[in-house]
Chains A and B, each alone.
Chain A
């Protein structure tokens, strides 16, 4: 199946004169695997430009993902189209944008082929991809190639791109529990993710401080566990909107329901779920992690995971499993009795493993792949083989990469990309210097690194400061996860391209903060 789009572009009569003095080559972020640009440029007229499906394309008009993408990218490429210049001195030239694809109504997944070829030559612009997801990536690159001269005319240089991602999993984590993030903040983040070719939105949707996910099965969870039961929740339709907005941009939505720790807010709407902590032989009134000793816990978790499977189409679910404090379990006589019965002795890591194993098996039975934080592996080597492990602990993550991949697990790296941690100056350079496969291990082991995630934990972040804190800092990891490492290790070389991309983000309405002193042609005009 093939999709071909026609893109009539006209060459400019002034071209010869102008192109000699300008000769700018425009960068793409993240850097494509292969990119050849020449100084020859063609002129694009917003009045005549259109995206069209090719005759031999699998997808035709009616392909939801691409129809919407064409519309979106048209206004991205020609932001002042409405103003209309009318001064263009262009003659007709026929350019072809051709995309080969299939599967317009599905969801992107771990195996999605995101590769594309883009060829912009004199009178011809052809974009080929295997899937619509690849076409989206190619459209993004195409849009970044177009630029305006000082007179406002649009140009694109003769360009050849062969591109594909280095890692299949390029994620960004938002935390909607420590602060509630209004829907529009999430949607805006998805927009910016697409501009940087991120493809997984890891939605850390609930945690200790609040439970904003409105469950169809257990409505009391958000009724009692959200900051506010009406204004600070995500309804089912909110969640669907996020998933669809993400799908349109080739982004997977992987929800995280972290347990058995980080569940304080769950306890409010689900009595009996959390372990009662004891003080001096009597319950103290406070609660600890999920109670792993009683059947009702597992029944509850199974119902919840069934709902999660129903609501979230992605084949992955993040089960958390991090930072379980054992103090409360230790204090509770029933838990101690259970430990004895199971022969765990005093080793509470065994109890945690017991719980996690049950949850992971439950998830596997629902045909879902589990992602868990590294703690689960650190405590317990026997983990279902297809479980994906995520590294978050800062120190010595290379050693952890070695150990995990040696055990044959697929791994995600997040430790060096906790960008909620801020410091003064250009800290994007640290993110950029990360080499996810630079650890001791065989080639086979290296292949088990399926990607990484930028994490924006929510302790100090809400709608007031999320976007400028995320962008363009997250772009550094985006390039590391997409591009060829050898070609992108020099941060000084990347700097001007990133500066330019940051201005482009501003132009597209993303409130991306400055990297350093300077200015953009189109400054942010909000607050």
Chain B
């Protein structure tokens, strides 16, 4: 029957939760309803009192502050106001115009005050974006102050998390002061739409969930060996022949646009990954001669390997292709992959062998890989984009531009050592190794996800500063629309807090209690986030 020992974990968590330290200050145990408040990820500075104000759906408003540089023409904020109003009050209609009497204890409005001259309403978020904000909840108005719309979005999320229902179903919010900013600038989620096609709806829902967790990068591993769903304007045959289905299993230019805009509205960058020279089987279907023909004995076997690095046509193709990519995706960075190149096919091919000899590479095929990557980097650099690459590119000693971001994913050597080496070489590093969320096991594996820290390696302060963040990866071998969302959430939330909150926020018991409620909040907002353990949500998932 059910495993009894697992049940015993629950009281343990409850016990730990009692001593939740300075972060909650005088917040603990004053009022029962306050248990309902569960901020995730935890803000940097947080002070709250027991004084509570009511929020009436009929009169409460989210408005632009008078001094704000953003106004009604800022579509991004207007949309965010509506979205968060609905999160706070459910599916109620827009508030009716001014109720006659406002009770003393009511919070009548949240003023959103964008302070810098340019609110950035129509921009895209970037690695340099300032996401900090200050939130002050007091009667009669709460004030959210941020330099630009991106900080305002983060603050709106926090505000919505502060609101709780009391036993009479009335929305309350406590007198609170928050000053918040992210610990890392790059907080990403990788979704893989090649091993399984992910319908647009699923991608959008996950962007929604990302915003609830203050993630700010959607790393779109859009193509790979198995399929090529990206519909290219320049090379339409890539998806016509490389997708699982040329019409039902593709992302059209307008789909891609929609993803980018939906993400922008939530302060999320979209970084596409076009992984080469390996992981490109599906490219070969629509682009003849791009891949290396493998040989069996002295004749071609009919199978193909990585991109053929010895033909000029390969580089011509890449030049045109990345020219398109650099215009379709507005972000300053492109992920170029570069991982897991299998050398066997190159080894088998006599033309490649000849080329190796000519170049003086001997039998070291990593030199050939470097040769390819270096040319590719030049091509991409010419499009004025920065690039991210998987760690092998660094490991193989490819000459890289100083601002290249190295994405650490391997378990061996230990990722701590790799982070040390990458940063010692002066490159910026991103961590994913402990956050391969496609790997599942029985029980509360979020705890280990939560405990991993990207700066936990031996190195100088300067090295630590080169760590720009990390990404939770959900590779697609066993995941599609049927199970993606519950598998990702709330496990990815553990990564979200590690990347946003202060380094000292490591209390698993405290995190458990907040995360249980945060997952119920996601469920309430329509995200089928799976349970952490035995228990219930006031509003269970209504989908299926």
Most chain A CB within a 10 A radius of its CB, from B2, B249, B481, B526: B2
B205 touches A323 (CB 8 A): no
Whether A114 sits at the interface, judged by CB under 8 Å, is: no
B199 touches A422 (CB 8 A): no
Contact A519:B540 (CB < 8 A) given known A373-B1, A465-B486: no
A228 touches B2 (CB 8 A): no
A424 touches B440 (CB 8 A): yes
B482 touches A512 (CB 8 A): yes
Contacting residue for B201 out of A184, A460, A525, CB 8 A: A525
CB B60 to nearest CB in A, in angstroms, measures: 26
Most chain A CB within a 10 A radius of its CB, from B245, B528, B540, B542: B540
Which residues of the other chain, B, contact A228 by a CB distance below 8 angstroms? 536, 538
Interface residues on B, range: 35 or more
Interface string of A397-421 (1 = CB under 8 A from B): 0000000000000000000000011
Which residues of the other chain, B, contact A232 by a CB distance below 8 angstroms? 536, 540
CB A242 to nearest CB in B, in angstroms, measures: 15
Contact A460:B199 (CB < 8 A) given known A469-B483, A516-B478, A524-B482: no
Which residues of the other chain, A, contact B248 by a CB distance below 8 angstroms? 521, 523
Whether B429 sits at the interface, judged by CB under 8 Å, is: no
Interface string of A222-241 (1 = CB under 8 A from B): 00000110011000000000
Stretch at the interface among A62-70, A202-210, A433-441: A202-210
B244 touches A519 (CB 8 A): yes
A527 touches B530 (CB 8 A): no
Contact A459:B533 (CB < 8 A) given known A322-B1, A523-B197, A527-B528: yes
B2 touches A467 (CB 8 A): no
Main SS at interface, chain B: loop
Contact A517:B195 (CB < 8 A) given known A179-B535, A424-B440: yes
A513 to B485, CA, bound (A): 12
Which residues of the other chain, B, contact A423 by a CB distance below 8 angstroms? 440-442
A464 touches B528 (CB 8 A): yes
B1 touches A514 (CB 8 A): no
Which residues of the other chain, B, contact A448 by a CB distance below 8 angstroms? none
CB A409 to nearest CB in B, in angstroms, measures: 18
B196 touches A323 (CB 8 A): no
Most chain A CB within a 10 A radius of its CB, from B245, B479, B481, B485: B481
B196 touches A517 (CB 8 A): yes
Which residues of the other chain, B, contact A506 by a CB distance below 8 angstroms? 482
Whether A133 sits at the interface, judged by CB under 8 Å, is: no
Contact A424:B483 (CB < 8 A) given known A322-B1, A517-B195: no
Whether A461 sits at the interface, judged by CB under 8 Å, is: yes
Which residues of the other chain, B, contact A208 by a CB distance below 8 angstroms? 7
A464 touches B483 (CB 8 A): no
A521 to B544, CA, bound (A): 20
A519 touches B482 (CB 8 A): no
A123 to B62, CA, bound (A): 69
Binding site for A on B (CB under 8 A): 1-4, 6-7, 195-197, 199, 201-202, 205, 226-227, 244-245, 248-249, 438-443, 476-483, 485-487, 523, 526-536, 538, 540-544
Interface CB pairs A-B, < 8 A, 18? A178-B534, A180-B540, A182-B540, A325-B4, A373-B1, A424-B478, A457-B3, A465-B487, A468-B486, A513-B479, A513-B482, A514-B196, A514-B483, A517-B195, A523-B248, A525-B481, A527-B202, A527-B481
